[in-house]
Structure 1
């Protein structure tokens, strides 16, 4: 058993988080994580409307009586979704914890505080983590350059980012980006984190609501099989390497603009990858951690394996390396 202050503050058994993932963070996966003792997040914006989010929360509660959360990612948009309405559903549904990401969550914090909702804010830099702590969030998720999705523009990997943040963060902090097994959990704890967040690793589980071809691709892929798209636009995203990602990189490297790749990167196409298993149909996210994914276990098997092997590593191999001065 590995317990940290993250477990105490957020009310979970194990310091393992399944963060929000567009099209993936649905009731079945989230409930499986909760039942296994971790903290799972329904992805709010995967649901078409706030009313649909309320229904998805209700479905999750039919599958688990353990705590789970909702991810609310706030991003700039010409026609933004009704963030306040999604926020109000989270509060009114009695969700105990929200994972915020993207833009500064300040405008939403008063409502979350009033509703008794703890806030775990995802950051990709130390300065943003410090700012979020000053705003009064309850925990930080620090996201290294290895991660899937948006790693920020600083290109700082977890080996440096985690201890750099740990030196300035006093609230519970989990490490994200590149984590998928017990070795990663132990390393994160040694670097100063209080737990780990996993996204890509949870995609390769029996309960993940994605096509089996996607899961098998994660098993077969190496750590070299991702692309960084939108680099010239200063909106970098790490995605699984396929024909579409290669085309996007080529167009933008030659001076193209977002309008030139808009149709290629449409979210509806990425969603169809997960639904149909056609891996070249659109853009879909995957992290470098796919290089250490070798099977497709159930969520319960994965979490149990991680916490059991982490305890064995700490008490066995690492303890055996410590010798007294005598």
Structure 2
């Protein structure tokens, strides 16, 4: 099936699926595989300007299809990364974890398309005022750092979509064509997959991390760090479990050992950031197969709903 909506038009892709820009996970092999499949791969901009530049160039060697970069604003140490992105010819950027006013004017002046990640209607309105082209609306069931107040995609997505005029991409809980169809029914014109992309052949993380995704059930993740003023959704492990109901301590100290987790497969060495949708992922597969099946299932779901549930 062929998609034709504002997301595909703005991003120049065939399929309105984004791969989440996961630091240390979304490396060139994974990003390029997503773009080669007709979707939008995203290079994470959290790893420092030199590494991001190298990842952009390596990704370009692997694919001639469009891909973008994410700027996690709270973690950007060198503002010159914006100039580097422009100089490298990137045409699409998502911004997150900070004020959308920080770099949107510069990016827009350079002719880039900018989507901002938002966890609330208030955040969506601020991003619109800043001049972004679209939004990534992220529910609290997704992996990683979250807003202090939780809102699931089932509530947040239709709320934001009904209040803004820009295209919306849904993030949090997306793993297949059925969840993609549900997001579109709620007002999205695209979806972003994170945890689903961790458990792929092209993902560079240790097999222990991939197998943990497959083994997880729907209750295997939790939000920790609420007492610190920020919270993050992670896999429940021996190292993270003590923080589930904690009102003291620093769970983010585990971030310092993240490479032991991703590279060496020690699940207790870091914060394994996975979304609740891990409970729906049953096998490690190639990116192209995941995207192909997602599109086919999306089409079948959309076509069958009326036939199955409406009389006459």
Would you call these one fold, judging by a TM-score over 0.5?
A: yes
- Please state how far the C-alpha of 1:316 moved relative to its aligned partner: 2.6
Q: Counterpart of 1:38? A: 39
What is the CA–CA distance in structure 2 between the aligned matches of 1:236 and 1:105, rounded to whole Å?
20
What is the CA–CA distance in structure 1 between the aligned matches of 2:100 and 2:252, rounded to whole Å?
27
Listed one character per residue, the Cα deviations across residues 104-124 of structure 1 (whole Å, up to 9, x for unaligned) are 131311221122111111010
Asked if 1:154 corresponds to 2:114, the answer is no
- Structure 1 unaligned residues grouped into runs of 5+: none
What is the CA–CA distance in structure 2 between the aligned matches of 1:112 and 1:69, rounded to whole Å?
13
Q: Counterpart of 2:222? A: 227
What is the CA–CA distance in structure 2 between the aligned matches of 1:74 and 1:204, rounded to whole Å?
27
Listed one character per residue, the Cα deviations across residues 219-262 of structure 1 (whole Å, up to 9, x for unaligned) are 01111111211111220110111112123346x42xx254xx45
Asked if 1:291 corresponds to 2:279, the answer is yes
Q: Counterpart of 2:231? A: 236
What pairs up with 1:67-216 in 2 under 5 angstroms?
67-75=66-74, 81-82=77-78, 84-216=79-211
CA root-mean-square deviation = 1.5
- The number of residue pairs the alignment matches comes to 311
Listed one character per residue, the Cα deviations across residues 282-322 of structure 1 (whole Å, up to 9, x for unaligned) are 21200000010001110000000000111011113443433
Q: Counterpart of 1:269? A: 257
- Seen in structure 2, the aligned counterparts of structure 1 residues 147 and 106 have a Cα distance that, compared at 3 Å, is same
Does the residue aligned with 2:260 lie in a helix, a strand or coil?
Answer: helix
Is the Cα contact below 8 Å between 2:100 and 2:126 reproduced in 1?
no
What is the CA–CA distance in structure 2 between the aligned matches of 1:268 and 1:29, rounded to whole Å?
23
Q: Counterpart of 1:50? A: 49
TM-score by length of 2: 0.95
Q: Counterpart of 1:19? A: 20
- Structure 2 unaligned residues grouped into runs of 5+: none
Listed one character per residue, the Cα deviations across residues 166-201 of structure 1 (whole Å, up to 9, x for unaligned) are 111111101111110111000000001111111011
